[in-house]
Amino acid sequence: MKLLKEKVMTEGIVLGDQVLKVDSFLNHQMDPVLMREVGSEFKRRFAGEGVTKVLTIESSGIAPAIMTALELGVPMIFARKHKSLTLKEDILVEKVYSFTKRETNEITVSKKFLHPEDRVLIIDDFLANGEAAFGLARIVEQVGASVAGIGIVIEKSFQPGARLLEEAGYRLDSLVRIASLEDGTVTFVEEVH
């Protein structure tokens, strides 16, 4: 996705060889034009999957997920990382380790928003080790629903997440795939389309 690659190149900040900071357009301040394009691209890529719901984790996944849901014309659900006084009963819970925050969170979704007949598209901002995507997939599968696919805005292909998700049988589609962050430089995986 050309616009996203340009944003990564011009505004992304490489912090070591494992972390890319994109807080100027994706996970703190958000570029609404870019988010609209992200939603449109995910719609194009997953249009034939019969998606009935879009699922993400708060907070950085919300913008690309809501724009994708808007484009697909389906509801968007976000898994909460923090306990809510109003979300105590009939909840689905999974533990998810965050690579960038180096902490484990219990994520929760109300059972009333997911049903066995749902085909759920999981959307997230980054893919490193696959923990968030696997946690969301387990929540979907707890109710007997199916994962229609996993859409990632930025995949760090040099980490094992993509391989692990594909080996587990999930359809994975990433808008931008990064091969390396070595020497402070973003190197993209060459796409063949």
For residue 126 the two structure tokens come to 């980054």
81 annotated as belonging to a binding site for a ligand: no
DSSP line for 39-60: HHHHHHHHGGG---EEEEETTT
H or E element in which residue 153 lies: strand 146-156
**Contact, 22 vs 8, CB < 8 A?**
yes
94 annotated as belonging to a binding site for a ligand: no
Write phi, then psi, for 15 (nearest 5 degrees).
Answer: -115, 85
20 annotated as belonging to a binding site for a ligand: yes
For residue 184 the two structure tokens come to 């402070």
Nearest C-alpha neighbor of 49 from the set 77, 72, 76: 72
**Nearest-angstrom CA–CA distance, 111 and 90:** 6
128 annotated as belonging to a binding site for a ligand: yes
148 annotated as belonging to a binding site for a ligand: no
**Contact, 72 vs 139, CB < 8 A?**
no
132 annotated as belonging to a binding site for a ligand: yes
181 annotated as belonging to a binding site for a ligand: no
131 annotated as belonging to a binding site for a ligand: yes
Annotated binding site for 5-phospho-alpha-D-ribose 1-diphosphate: 128-132
Binding-site residue numbers are 20, 27, 128-132, 156
Annotated binding site for xanthine: 20, 27, 156
